[in-house]
A = this chain, B = another copy of it.
Amino acid sequence: MTGHMTSAEFRKIGHELVDWVADYWDTIEERPVLSAIEPGGVSGLLPKSPPEKGDGLGSLVADLDGIILPGLTHWQHPSFFGYFPANTSGPSVLGDLVSAGLGVQGMLWTTSPACTELETVTIEWLAQLLDLPERFRANSTGGGVIEDSASSSTLIATLAALNRVSGGAWCRDGLGGPGGLDYVVYASTQAHSSVEKAARIAGLGSRGLRSIPVGAVDLAMDAERLSARIAEDKAAGRVPALVVATLGTTSTTAFDPLPEIGRICEENGIWLHVDAAYAGAAAICPEFRWMHEGIEYADSYCFNPHKLLLTGFDCSAFWVADRSSLIQALSVLPEYLRNAASESGSIIDYRDWQIPLGRRFRALKLWFVLRWYGAEGLRKHIRTTIGLAEQFENLVLADTRFECVTTRTLGLVCFRLRADNELNEELLHRVNSDGMAFLTHTVVAERLTLRLAIGSPFTESSHVSAVWCRLQKFATEVLSS
């Protein structure tokens, strides 16, 4: 099989693998959620060197079953409750299949116009579903784009902010050297690690990041402390460049007070980036749109359809109110990419909206998902998911041995045994160790806290009941040990 795969071979193996994926989903519940393998458990089963001759994928399905599947933590499993969900769906997978088959590059409008235009349209559809402000929308000064992740969205917001606050000098002069200014980025102590990573990548170092304290109960950024730190930095000759406000923190889904933060940013001319990576999807339901109060102050906004909106990773939706700040920050134009369409100014070249140059046709999977489910179907998934979390929360609240550590708002429940950290750690270890379910942890005010996040389309009420029964059983064991 050293030659190219024929059309007939592609059809035959393609059908087999579509069925293999369907079989995987049909039987996923029979597998342990968390892989039990030890380091080297997969690599040790693979040849040390590549095959000299192709083998026609003959034993491929056997190897997928025998080598790969035992080494996976199954993120689509109905009892996967760890981290945040990264759910996918049939329509999304099929959109990705078509994207891979077309194999086009969307770096410039001209390199495949449909790749750019379908992205502009589907991202505008999302903006409508979320009821985002006009200035983020198509035909405004702003616009939207699909990034690979919220980390990248935070990074490009940081770069656009540095460009704007420096009046464009940042592109030319950078940050260093004798005349270098001290730019500062602000986020709460609960912000995602990608804020620190973005500040570091952008050359600000940890010295350029201010971690603003949060309220003891709501874990939301303390706006007064933010205001005070900004004043202090300005007095010391530093330049506040960016505030990242989080809607739905990773640790506990806390919500920063957007209206207060927004007013502070406006008064001080600071770029406000809103990181709603996880929570934003819920805003497609009017009853959860309270989270967007104050969003009119935002210069950029991000949420991940690949978390709760049934569109497989990678699909992070990013909007900017003034696209020129972003494009100016990221545009570099060599001769070999010059073309008439770009020079006309009438089109979008998304390469200037992201870190890499090349880009896949990611809008296809989003289009497939939006068409399959419709707004109605997506809202139903959000409500079902959050309803299941509410069910779990009620179970926790009814057992006096447990407590909820924070007030649940969406699909994440943060809870713990009313006991010391060691016992909670032991409880987590026991519930995860036989593969029936998978939860992760965080630490809130020095208390080890269990996180149960719901999101898989396969999760039903019975899975929630089942994990709770097991938690109760292990709690009894742990408390009596």
Stretch at the interface among A254-262, A291-299, A386-394, A440-448: A440-448
Contact B174–A204 (Cβ < 8 Å): yes
Query: Which residues of the partner chain B approach A332 to less than 8 Å between Cβ atoms?
Result: 193-194, 196-197, 200
Residues of B within 8 A of A60 (CB): 368, 371
Distance (whole angstroms) from the CB of A7 to the closest CB of chain B = 5
Q: List, in ascending order, chain B residues with CB within 8 A of A129's CB.
A: 50
Q: Is A133 an interface residue (CB 8 A)?
A: no
Q: How many copies does the complex hold?
A: 2
List of 5 A-B pairs having minimum Cβ-Cβ separation, nearest first: A203-B203, A174-B205, A71-B114, A5-B90, A21-B101
Interface size class of A (residues with CB under 8 A): 35 or more
The CA of A304 and the CA of B175, in the complex, are separated in Å by 31
A478 CB–B CB distance under 8 Å = no
Interface string of A102-120 (1 = CB under 8 A from B): 1111000111111101101
Query: How far is the CB of A252 from the nearest CB of chain B, in Å?
Result: 10
| Of listed A24, A35, A451, residue having the most chain B CB within 10 A | A35
**Is A371 touching B57 in the complex (CB atoms < 8 A)?**
yes
State A93–B94 Cα separation when bound (angstroms). Answer: 12
B contact residues around A474 at 8 Å (CB): none
Q: Judge whether A374 and B2 touch: CB under 8 Å.
A: yes
A:51-90 near B, CB below 8 Å: 51-57, 60, 64, 67-76, 83, 86-90
B51 engages A14 (CB within 8 Å): no
- Name the residue among A56, A176, A341, A358 with the largest chain B CB count within 10 angstroms: A176
CB-CB < 8 A to A162: which residues of B? 203
Contact A193 B120 (CB under 8 A): no
Most buried by B among A197, A306, A346: A197
